[in-house]
A and B are shown apart, each in its own frame.
Chain A
């Protein structure tokens, strides 16, 4: 039973380019969460999605960032017109059922390390 998969593992972009990060949740999981981690910093929640729905995007910058989780295929985190400050590790996690105030474990993928030159 494969775990959470993310690709690419490393991504290098020049300022102004677009970055697309992909996340395939664990089999049977329909809830996906994206986090950003800056060097020497903690994990920061960005967005929480179910299939075809964004449940909570309170942690995601209003501009340049978007996320989707289509009915078929992986979840995508898209960063347009990247800037140096976007350089970070982006982790995806999935869970079996949504948070909804109930104890549910999140399993993390290996992360995508984005470097903006």
Chain B
């Protein structure tokens, strides 16, 4: 089982749609979780951290289910500018590097 797995997509959605991305991780002792966004040919940028209680930032909602080792990102009212690749990122236990998923590509269409 891969350490961090994501559906690669692409997800093609119309403006205004709600879209959800899922991510699973293999190490149950992982301690912290993030969603990063990467635009084409650009560097990854932190979108939001993911907390056990779930957290929301404007149109974006992140949730964590430790029992199922599952992380989600919900985007409401999609904008054209949301088009990007969304990376699920997990911090395993101990002094080990962050593990990045391969990303889910989103295209928001006018």
The interface of chain A, by Cβ under 8 A from chain B, is 33, 35, 41-43, 45, 48, 55-56, 58-59, 89, 91, 98-103, 105-111, 113
**B97 and A103 contacting across the interface, CB-CB below 8 Å:** no
Interchain CA distance A89-B41 in the complex, whole Å: 9
**For A105, what are the chain B residues with a Cβ–Cβ distance below 8 Å?**
34, 46, 49
CB of B98 within 8 Å of the partner chain = yes
B89 shortest CB reach to chain A, Å: 9
Contact of A103 among B31, B44, B94, B103 (CB under 8 A): B31
Interchain CA distance A101-B98 in the complex, whole Å: 10
B44 shortest CB reach to chain A, Å: 5
**B97 and A98 contacting across the interface, CB-CB below 8 Å:** no
Interface-centre pick from B43, B45, B46, B95 (highest chain A CB count, 10 A)? B43
**B91 and A99 contacting across the interface, CB-CB below 8 Å:** yes
**A108 and B96 contacting across the interface, CB-CB below 8 Å:** no
Type the 1/0 row for B85-105, where 1 means its CB is closer than 8 Å to any CB of A. Answer: 001000101111111111100
Interchain CA distance A24-B87 in the complex, whole Å: 24
**B46 and A91 contacting across the interface, CB-CB below 8 Å:** no
